[in-house]
Every structure is written in structure tokens, then in C-alpha cells.
Homo-oligomer: A and B are copies of this chain.
Amino acid sequence: MIRLSTAEPGFEGKFQALLDQARDTTAKVDAAVAALIAEVRAGGDNALLDITARFDRWTPGSAAALRVTEAEIEAARAACAPGLLDALDLAATRIERFHQAQLPRDVELADPLGLTLGLRWGPLDAVGIYVPGGKAAYPSSVLMNAIPARVAGVPRIAMCVPTPDGALNPLVLAAAHRAGVSEIFRLGGAQAVAAMAWGTASIAPVDRVVGPGNAYVAEAKRQVFGRVGIDSIAGPSEVVVLADASQNPALIAIDLLAQAEHDESAQAILITTSGQMANAVEHAVEEALKTLPRAAIAGESWCRHGAIIVVRDWEEGAALTDRLAPEHLEVMVAEPQALFARIRHAGAAFLGGHCPEALGDYVAGPNHVLPTGRTARFASGLSVFDFLKRTTWIAAERRGLEAIGPAAVALAGAEGLDAHARSVSMRLGQG
């Protein structure tokens, strides 16, 4: 953990070093992934069976066995604690409502010159969702990836989840069922991404593949990009907490550690106007680590990547936050909305003392799939927009063509595209 103060000499250099600190430790697996994708494209279902037997310590009897049945889904739901199913349903209902509120409207612009211009939104035909298996099987991620697609109107949502040793997380199946996933396959890694992108006899291809995964999944998404759309490749997670002297240091500490417990390369940063708060939070983090089950991971993250920065005022604090462009931003100050209004770059913001990030990770409604590694400068969290595309259209009356056609002829001529010019001038009777 590094302590910085804008009042100290040499701050800029140290802050820049913090910005440049490499946290992503993704292994290079290009060649291995290219081979797996080629194997799936050549061998189809049989390749999926072979690769699954090789990597998942589980041998499906047939391609049909890859598909999770309705009965299995029902059995999984029955195996979940009712309280958890209720929590899942509350989360799903709130996520649906927030994403419905995002749905854009078509544009139609009638024009005095005799043209009508339009922009039409439409859903993708089919989407594939990757869900990590084993310890990183997060039902909340199933909701966050599938519900925006469903709200966007995507008719077919396929999901792939690896089942190491054949084991499946019942709550993940329950979440998929609640979110409206159409098909679930026991399939993981690059082979799952390849199957969804290129299709096999038993898995129809999709138009976009989303969802988190390990280095193989991330590289596979890179390699199928263009054939299908993909979401952004997520890096290690991060939070910036802005806190003034009025806050409870123990709550700030646990919020920082909630980020740090994700993995060792996660990053938690406190920016505060109070040196006393900085000391109190540093102490509270040490205290909390003593009793935290995932203290090993969280402690490693805090030690390697954590930071506490004391600023002279919130103008400095806002400027540093924009340079960090954090995935998550907690604004725990007296006037959170006013400070948030001065910050341009963050994936998601959590305003006030009653709004820990975990509320948004699970049940509040906004998406928890967010831009990492300072990409919030130009990227956004997952939303209905990831599952919609636009078609623009132009309708012209004769007089519309006459009004603007000559300008098109002039510009086409200047660009040396004669057929372009003729396609207009011939209609104007000058062809």
C-alpha cells in the first residue's frame, strides 16, 4: 500500500507511477487458443467432446449430453435455499427495470426539402454468454449478462458454463432460468467461445459473445472478434473511494477490502481530504484483515496495489479521479451528488454513506459488468446497447433528390467517383 499526499514534493511522479503500474497478468495463450478454435471449426461436436474430456475431467457421452435439460434446471432450483431464490428474484426484477429504462427510441426526421431520415434500433438475433465455472461461478454475473440481452429483445440467449468433474452450481442454473436464458451448455474455455461463434451441429452460432473468463476465454474472444461481436476484455477490478472527515473509517476499510478480495491484482484506492481519516482507514484495513476469510488475497491486493491519497481539496480529488477513471467510484462525502457532477470518468458511481459497491454488485439494478484499467475514459458498462444495433435509413421524394442531389454530384466528382455522381445525375435527367 502506498501513501501519497498532493502537498508533498514529487507527488506527480509517484501518482504517474501508480497510474502506469501494470496489474494485468494475463498469460500469452494465442497459439493454444488458435489451435482449439481450429479444432472446433474442423471437428464440430466431436471436437467439443474430446476437448471437454481433456480439460474438464468429465466425459460427456454425446453432444446431446452437453445440453443442460429442463429437468436438471428444475432440480437445481429445488436444491437452492428459498431465501437465495428470493434474493435472486429481487435482483433480477430490479436489473430488468433499470435496463428497460435505458431502451432508446427510434429517430425519424422529416425534412422540408422532401427527405425523411431515420434511425431504427433492433435486437441481435442470438447472443452467447460465457459463465466461468468452478470457484468463480457467479450467479450475479449470469443476471448481469443475460438480462440486458433479454430486455433488448434478443430472441435466443445461449449460455456456456464449464463443469469441471461434471459439477454445476445450482444457483447459476437458477439465475440462468430466472434471466431467461434459452439454452445452457456444459462447455468452457476457448472451445465454448469457438462453438458459439462458429456453431456446431448441436450449437447454433450466435452474433455476439459476452461474459467474463480466464486468459483462454479472453484470447478466444479476441480471435473470434469480427466473426461475431464481443464485449470488452475485462482486466483486474478496481475501486476509488472518495471520503471526507465525516465518514466511518471502518466502513471505508471494508469497502476497500470488498474490492481487494476479488483477486491479488485488484486495486483499492482511498482519496480523502483528511489526514486523520487516512490514518484511521489504514488502521481499520489492518484490523479487518485479521478476521476476513479471504484475507490472504485481499491483503496481497492491498499491499501490492492499494493506495491512500490525501488531497488539499476536492478539486484536486476530482482531477485525480478522472485520471484514474476507475471502474467503481464511491463518493462518501457530505454532498455526494455535487462532487459526482464534477467527475467525468468512472464506470459506476455509488453515492453517499448508505451505498456500498456491493449493493450495486448484486441487487440495485445498474450493471456490474464495467470498464476496467482506466478504459472508463472511453468505454461503458454492459447495457441494452450491447445487444441492439442501428440501421439508418433515407427516403427521398423527387424534390428531395433535386434539392440535395447536385451537391452529391459535386462532391462525388471531387472524389473521382464517377459512378457515384452518375447514379444521382442520371436520376436528375442529366445522366
Contacts and interface: CB of A to CB of B under 8 A. Distances in A.
5 contacts: A261-B418, A261-B420, A356-B424, A358-B424, A359-B424
A164 to B, nearest CB: 16
A394 to B, nearest CB: 5
A395 interface: yes
Contacts of A251: 423, 426-427
A426 B124 CA distance: 42
Contacts of A404: 90, 94, 359, 363-364
A377 B411 contact: no
Interface in A201-235: 207-208, 226, 228-229, 233
A420 B358 contact: yes
Contact of A366 (B119, B351, B371): B119
A71 interface: no
A100 to B, nearest CB: 10
A178 interface: no
Contact of A412 (B101, B358, B367, B412): B358
B228 A378 contact: yes
A263 to B, nearest CB: 11
Given A389-B376, A414-B139, A423 B255 contact: yes
* Interface range, A side: 35 or more
A215 to B, nearest CB: 14
Interface of A: 83-84, 86-88, 90-91, 94, 97-98, 101-102, 104, 107, 109, 115, 117, 119, 122, 124-125, 135, 138-140, 171, 207-208, 226, 228-229, 233, 250-251, 254-255, 257-258, 260-262, 288, 292-294, 298, 336-337, 340, 344-367, 371, 373, 375-381, 383, 385, 389-398, 400-401, 404-408, 410-412, 414-424, 426-427, 431
B392 A356 contact: no
A401 B354 contact: yes
A418 B381 CA distance: 24
A429 to B, nearest CB: 11
Given A344-B125, A378-B228, A292 B418 contact: yes
